Homo-oligomer: A and B are copies of this chain.
Amino acid sequence: MIDKNDIYVAQGYGQRLGFGRFPALLIIDLTNAFADPALFGGGNIDEAIAHTVPLLAAARLSGVPIMFSTHAYAADGIDHGLMVQKNHNLKRLVAGTDATAIVADLAPRDGELVLSKRHPSAFFGTDLLGWLSARNVDTVLICGCTTSGCIRATAVDALGYGLRPIVIRDCVGDRALQPHLANLFDLEQKYADVVPLRAALDHLAARSK
């Protein structure tokens, strides 16, 4: 649907970053609210969750740092920002409720960071950056949802902070296909490497040996 326009090739876009040496796994917003089409789910998000199961297992085996983000607000709404004005339904994402819990198939374990955020990027208004830096991370494997929202914003910030963003194509999803594909195009051309699950599993397996 989105053509890799000739102009992107001619102007030099779409080159590769490659994996660095110290990856971390960032699982973005795979909470019950984003698995539920009646809230913010739909599209291919269920497939992204299913494909993230083996990715999470491989990351655990290889011992890399693992972070889960959940998009959540205080029950009294005191921390609502402008983003909530673009979609009042975001108010339903109350911290500590079922809606904002990570989906059961990916339940976090002790020693894995669960980060509450209120903006698209997992870096924005959080101390994710310091947490990754303190662990010498130079590469972030990004999965979760939505491709056109929090995945993209997290990848763009990671790039700016000098962390190679690797978006795992099979493990990201969106409520609608067109924004999903359009944003994968932008990410691949300008901000991140977009790779299949297989490539991420191989990379993590090579580290585990």
Q: Which residues of A contact B (CB under 8 A)?
A: 2-3, 5, 7-8, 11-17, 21, 37, 39-40, 42-43, 74, 76, 78-79, 81-83, 85-90, 110-113, 118-121, 124-127, 129-136, 138, 148-149, 153, 156-157, 159-164, 175-176, 178-179, 182-183, 185-186, 189-192
- Contacts A17-B85, A85-B15 hold; do A133 and B131 have CB atoms under 8 A apart? no
Selected from B2, B12, B129, the residue in CB contact (under 8 A) with A182 is: B2
A120: which B residues are within 8 A, CB to CB? 156, 160, 190-191
A121: which B residues are within 8 A, CB to CB? 156, 160
A145: shortest Cβ distance to chain B, in Å?
A: 13
A114: shortest Cβ distance to chain B, in Å?
A: 8
- Tallying the copies of this chain within the complex gives 4
Contact assessment for A83 and B12 in the assembled complex, using a CB-CB cutoff below 8 Å: no
A-B residue pairs, 7 tightest by C-beta: A125-B127, A133-B162, A182-B182, A134-B162, A12-B89, A5-B176, A130-B162
A178: which B residues are within 8 A, CB to CB? 2-3, 5, 182
A179: which B residues are within 8 A, CB to CB? 2, 182, 185-186
**Once bound together, how far apart are the Cα atoms of A91 and B11, in whole Å?**
12
A161: which B residues are within 8 A, CB to CB? 129-130, 133
A135: which B residues are within 8 A, CB to CB? 162
Contact assessment for B17 and A87 in the assembled complex, using a CB-CB cutoff below 8 Å: no
